[in-house]
Structure 1
Amino acid sequence: MNQKIQKLLSHLGYASRRGIEQMILEKEVSINGKTAIIGQRINLKHPGQIMIKGQIIPIKYQKYHTKVILYNKPEGEICTKKDQKNRNTVFNRLPLLDAYRWISVGRLDINTKGLLLFTNNGNLANQLMHPKNKIEREYYIRVFGYVNNKIINILQNGVKIKTGYAAFKSIESINTRIVSKNKWFKVVLCEGKNREIRHMWKQVKCQVNRLIRIRYGNIILPKTLQPGHWMQLNTILLKNLFKLASFQE
Structure 2
Amino acid sequence: MKTEQTEKLQKVLARSGHGSRREIEAKISAGRIRVNGKVAHLGERVGPGADVRIDGHKVEVKTEEEVPCRVIVYHKPEGELVTRKDPEGRPTVYESLPYLKSSRWIAIGRLDINTSGLLLFTTDGELANRLMHPKYEVEREYAVRVFGEVNDAMVQRLRQGVMLDDGMAKFTRVKRQGGEGLNRWFHVSLTEGRNRQVRRMWESQGLMVNRLIRIRMGEQLLPKGLVQGGWMDLDLNAVNYLRSLAELPKLESAPVLTSEDKERQLKRARRANRGRRRS
TM-score with structure 2 length normalisation?
A: 0.79
> What secondary structure is seen at the aligned counterpart in 2 of 1:72?
strand
Where does structure 1 lack aligned partners over 5 or more consecutive residues?
none
Larger RCO, structures 1/2 (Cα 8 Å, 6+ apart): 1
Structure 2 residue aligned with 1:14: 19
After superposition, the CA RMSD in angstroms is 2.4
Distance in 2, Cα, partners of 1:151 & 1:89? 35
Taking only the aligned residue pairs, the percentage that are identical comes to: 43
Match of 1:89 in 2: 92
Runs of 4+ in structure 1 over 6 Å off: none
Deviation of 1:36 (Å) = 4.3
1:135 maps to: 138
1:32, CA displacement in angstroms? 4.4
Q: Does 1:239 align with 2:243?
A: no
Whole-Å separation in 2 of the counterparts to 1:23 and 1:101: 17
The match for 1:167 is: 170
Contact 1:13 1:120 in 2 (8 A): no
Question: Given the superposition, is the C-alpha separation of residues 113 and 19 from structure 1 closer, same or farther in structure 2, using an over 3 Å criterion?
Answer: closer
- 1:112 and 2:115 correspond: yes
Q: Which has the higher helix share?
A: 2
Superposition deviation, residue 6 in structure 1: 3.6
Query: In structure 2, the residue corresponding to 1:42 is in which secondary structure?
Result: coil
How far apart are the structure 2 equivalents of 1:66 and 1:146?
46
Specify the alignment match of 2:46 in structure 1.
40
Point out where structure 2 has 5 or more consecutive residues left out of the alignment. 251-279
- Partners of 1:109 and 1:204 in 2: how far apart? 21
Residues 1:69 and 2:75 aligned together: no
Q: TM-score, normalised by structure 1?
A: 0.88
**Number of corresponding residues:** 241
What do residues 22-46 of structure 1 show as CA deviations (whole Å, max 9, x unaligned)? Answer: 8657754213423347222132xxx
Residue in 2 that maps onto 1:227: 228
Aligned-residue offset at 1:63: 2.6
Please state how far the C-alpha of 1:207 moved relative to its aligned partner.
0.2
Which of 120, 128, 134 is the matching residue for 1:125?
128
In structure 2, relative to structure 1, the CA distance for the partners of 1:21 and 1:188 (3 Å cut) is: closer
Q: Matched residues in 2 for 1:190 and 1:240: separation? A: 17
